[in-house]
Amino acid sequence: MPAFAVPPEHADLRAAVRRFLTECSPEAEVRRLMETGAGHDPAVWKRMAGELGLQGLIVPADHGGAGAGRVELGIVLEEAGRALLCAPLFATVALAATLLLECDDADAQARYLPGIATGDTVATVAVSAPDPGRRPPGSGVAAAGTAEGWRLTGEEPYVVDGHAADLLLVPARTPAGLSLFAVDGRLAQRHPLQTVDRTRRLARVTFADTPGELLGRDGSAGPVLDRTLDLAAVALASEQAGAAAFVLERTVAYAKERVQFGRPIGGFQAIKHMLADLLLESESAISAARWAAAAADEGDPDLPALASLVRAYCSDAFVRIAADSIQIHGGIGFTWEQAAHLYLRRARTSAQLLGDAAYHRERHLQRSMT
């Protein structure tokens, strides 16, 4: 089989996820969920786990999951990006489940992963994007040991799906260094944020002497968090690449049917050239994201540098394709009724999530030289 051939099981997975999301995440449903407080439909969330097992995709079989890899997760997130899925899938799987799998705590994995796999637990990691001063992840919260156990104090300003999470995995500073804690989401102060993109929710999460459970060894979370964020960057790149490809497909279809001066606008040279450039961006983003996912599964030692490189490229590609799509649509592209602006909003906010393109280019250069 050629290296670029798609295995039948991957094609089947993509087809199943696309059918499900075509039914459960059409544009009308996306718009409805945007206006709700939760930002997702709990019944659909449970169906995703029960019918497709998406929440348990990368969870080992011993904990009720499928034990799949990053390539399979990338396929699912490409389809989720195409559909602008309003659900805490990225937070629960690409962030929280990944962090649990990376940490050296078998008891915590046995306690929390089964609930994630069945869709009973919505989880996230309480980290924000690095700020312009390059504040390291996990520096916003401190933990202190007391006679009653660990207590957390501090704030993370931009936590993905922090408003809905049953389980918060919180990197926090202790005298021994960066450590990882599990916190009941109900015990934290959570403030949903009004953001440009209502299809993915962010919350400010504050801890005020909040009880937390230490995961792994005290002071050992640094490498675990770095690995998790690298894998999350690859996962987010897959989502961005899938969404960008869908935007391009819709734009090409519009250019074929929109008639101006007696001919489809897709026949004009300027539009042809623009679409050709966007096709190059889209195909390169898809190839880069899939390459990074395969490298993650293969244990490529260059993954840290590769993850940042791919993340930066897919961020820029998605923003450009979404913005140029609105230009090609013309005046109608700026209206609320046209879905193009929803994808541009997702593109702009995803580009800032867990570090913008400039941050990841800098990290790529630093990591390439080590």
* Residue 286 CB-half CA count within 13 A: 19
pLDDT in tens, 286-304: 999 999 999 999 999 999 9
Other CB atoms within a 10 A radius of the CB of residue 184 amount to 14
* Phi, psi of 142, deg, nearest 5: -120, 150
Kindly tell me the sign of the dihedral angle through the C-alpha atoms of 89, 95, 97, 98. positive
Question: What ranges in 35-168 are assigned the alpha helix state H?
Answer: 42-47, 70-83, 89, 98-102, 106-118
Q: How far apart are CA 176 and CA 170, in angstroms?
A: 16
Residues of the chain with CATH 2.40.110.20: 125-220
Residue 111, pLDDT > 70, answer yes
Spell out the CATH class of 125-220: mainly beta
What SS3 state is found at 118?
helix
Q: Provide mean pLDDT across the span 69-97.
A: 98
pLDDT in tens, 199-233: 999 999 999 999 999 999 999 999 999 999 999 99
User: Is residue 288 classed exposed, middle or buried when 0-12, 13-18 and 19+ CB atoms within 10 A define those classes?
Assistant: buried
Domain 8-90+105-121 has CATH 1.10.1200.10: no
pLDDT in tens, 164-183: 999 999 999 999 999 999 99
Q: Given this model, what pLDDT does residue 2 score?
A: 41
What is the topology classification, in CATH, of domain 223-368? Butyryl-CoA Dehydrogenase, subunit A; domain 3 (1.20.140)
pLDDT in tens, 21-46: 999 999 999 999 999 999 999 999 99
Q: Given this model, what pLDDT does residue 132 score?
A: 46
Q: How far apart are CA 301 and CA 354, in angstroms?
A: 21
Q: Provide mean pLDDT across the span 5-17.
A: 92
Residues of the chain with CATH 1.10.540.10: 8-90+105-121
Q: How far apart are CA 321 and CA 275, in angstroms?
A: 9
Residue 245, pLDDT > 80, answer yes
- Give which of 242, 112, 91 is closest to 181, Cα–Cα: 112
**Which residues lie across from 259 on neighbouring strands?**
264
Q: Given this model, what pLDDT does residue 336 score?
A: 85
Residue 136, pLDDT > 90, answer no
pLDDT in tens, 310-369: 999 999 999 999 999 999 988 888 888 889 999 999 999 999 999 999 999 998 988 888
Q: How far apart are CA 34 and CA 201, in angstroms?
A: 9
